[in-house]
Amino acid sequence: MLGQVIELIEKHERFAITSHIRPDGDSLGSSLALCWILRGLKKDAEVIMCDHVPLAYSKLPGSELVRVVPDIDREYDAVFVIECSDVTRPGLPSLNEQFVVNIDHHSTTALFGDLNWIDSTAAAVGEMIYNLAKAIGSRITPEIASCVYAALLTDTGSFHFSNTTERTFKIASELVKHGAQPAKLSQAIFYSYPYAKILLIGTVLSTLQRDESGRIAWITMTRKAMTESGANEDDSDGVINYPLTVGDVEAVAFFRELQDSTYRISLRSKNRVNVARVAEQFGGGGHCNAAGFTIKADYDHLSKDVISKLKEAVQTSPVVNGREIKPR
Ligand code: 5GP
Ligand code: MN
């Protein structure tokens, strides 16, 4: 499939790259890296997104070139869609009228593209984009190296998650050789928070609760908590990781109140507790250890329902390291 993607690029001129709503490190890093690769090949390429670039990724090379649009408004020979579970995830309604190349590392993605390049062994789509750069003969510039590094860094949870392999470090090492600066990128992504974010983290963490087994924890962010800290929705990203740092906690839910009784729920887990299966039951999706969904619901019912489904997921999770994890 990589061969077909290369042939498409070689034969055409005008490309757009997009990814899912509320883009993250892999979606932005991969999209920008691909844009730099295409421009290096003298192609007409741009990144279009329906949402703005979050502050954490605003220092990635090319982030200022991302065009925020409510829909596709130009003609392209092909649109590359990065790490999207289906054609609606970019939030660009006319996308299905374009020639679409679906590039993803989630095996659960719908094959919605005219070309579908899926590699579920890749730690991040950034790794696939790096393979493409090498295969097509691009010079790996510091811009490409930095964007791919950011994708790898964020999708592996700073090289903490189980998708981190020997290959990840090998690629990271090559990227550093080509000009990616690890400390500078980590500083930009993880040490450049606005003060309001820390105030918000304090408020949200004060809502922390856990079930009787201690294996499931949850936190909630109301609209009031957000506005009172002077924060915005982006500032709540990453807060979910704190409850997961508790040794006994294996699954976490984060309930974020949007407008009109709509909630965005993020789920995270450790080991083989599959939260994607839980998110799917509410119309969302994701990976085994990180998933989410958005739903209009009454908070009390919703939280009970989500926590009971998480309990099932924890209790039925497979054996880890030859040892069955039993409820304590
Ligand atoms: P987050 O909690 O960071 O918003 O999302 C974590 C992961 O869950 C995302 O990378 C994405 O794979 C998945 N995800 C979150 N929300 C949705 C959703 O509404 N639909 C689908 N299909 N996946 C989602
Ligand atoms: Mn990814």
pLDDT (tens digit per residue) in 46-81: 999 999 999 999 999 999 999 999 999 999 999 999
In the chain, where does the domain assigned CATH 3.10.310.30 lie?
196-324
Cα–Cα distance measured from residue 176 to residue 174, given in angstroms and rounded to the nearest whole number: 5
Q: Which ligand is nearest to the CA of 292?
A: 1
Q: For domain 196-324, give the CATH number.
A: 3.10.310.30
Nearest-CA residue for atom 12 of ligand 1 = 286
Cα–Cα distance measured from residue 56 to residue 23, given in angstroms and rounded to the nearest whole number: 11
Q: Which ligand is nearest to the CA of 126?
A: 2
Residues contacting 300, CB < 8 A, separation 6+:
none
Mean pLDDT of the chain: 95
Name the percent of the chain lying above pLDDT 70. 97
152 CA to centre of ligand 2 in angstroms: 8
- pLDDT category of residue 108 using cuts at 50, 70 and 90: confident
284 CA to centre of ligand 1 in angstroms: 7
Q: Which ligand is nearest to the CA of 289?
A: 1
Residues contacting 67, CB < 8 A, separation 6+:
46, 47, 48, 49
Nearest-CA residue for atom 13 of ligand 1 = 286
Q: Is 327 helix (H, G, I), strand (E, B) or coil?
A: coil
126 CA to centre of ligand 2 in angstroms: 8
Residue to substitute in 221, 262, 287, 288 for testing ligand 1 pocket (most ligand atoms within 8 angstroms of CB): 287
Nearest Cα neighbor of 216 from 275, 279, 262 is 275
Asked if residue 328 has pLDDT above 60, the reply is: no
Span 160-188, average pLDDT: 96
Q: Quick check: CB of 291 below 6 Å from ligand 1?
A: yes
Asked if residue 320 has pLDDT above 80, the reply is: no
Asked if residue 319 has pLDDT above 80, the reply is: no
Q: Quick check: CB of 253 below 6 Å from ligand 1?
A: no
Q: Which residue do the tokens 């002077």 mark?
A: 230
Residues contacting 109, CB < 8 A, separation 6+:
84, 85, 86, 102, 116, 118
CB atoms within 10 A of CB 207: 14
Which pLDDT value is given to residue 287? 84
Q: Quick check: CB of 204 below 6 Å from ligand 1?
A: no
pTM for the whole thing? 0.91
Using the atom order of ligand 1, give the atom closest to the CA of residue 294. 19
Nearest-CA residue for atom 19 of ligand 1 = 293
Q: Quick check: CB of 294 below 6 Å from ligand 1?
A: yes
The CA-CA-CA angle for residues 173, 105, 246, to 5°, reads 75
In the chain, where does the domain assigned CATH 3.90.1640.10 lie?
2-190
Give pairs for 268-274: CB < 8 Å, separation 24+.
268/240, 268/241, 268/244, 269/244, 269/313, 269/314, 270/244, 271/317, 271/320, 271/325, 272/317, 272/318, 272/320, 273/313, 273/314, 273/317, 274/313, 274/317
CB atoms within 10 A of CB 316: 10
Residues contacting 66, CB < 8 A, separation 6+:
28, 31, 32, 47, 48, 49, 53
Cα–Cα distance measured from residue 152 to residue 154, given in angstroms and rounded to the nearest whole number: 6
Compute the chain's Rg from CA coordinates.
20
Q: Quick check: CB of 266 below 6 Å from ligand 1?
A: yes
Q: Quick check: CB of 35 below 6 Å from ligand 1?
A: no
- pLDDT category of residue 106 using cuts at 50, 70 and 90: confident
Asked if residue 238 has pLDDT above 70, the reply is: yes
Fold that domain 2-190 belongs to in CATH = inorganic pyrophosphatase (n-terminal core) (3.90.1640)
Span 173-196, average pLDDT: 98
CB 84 within 8 A of CB 102: yes
Which pLDDT value is given to residue 324? 46
Which pLDDT value is given to residue 326? 42
pLDDT in tens, 199-237: 999 999 999 999 999 999 999 999 999 999 999 999 999
Which pLDDT value is given to residue 321? 52
List the strands of the sheet with 251-257, edge to edge: 209-210, 216-221, 251-257, 262-269, 290-296, 285-286
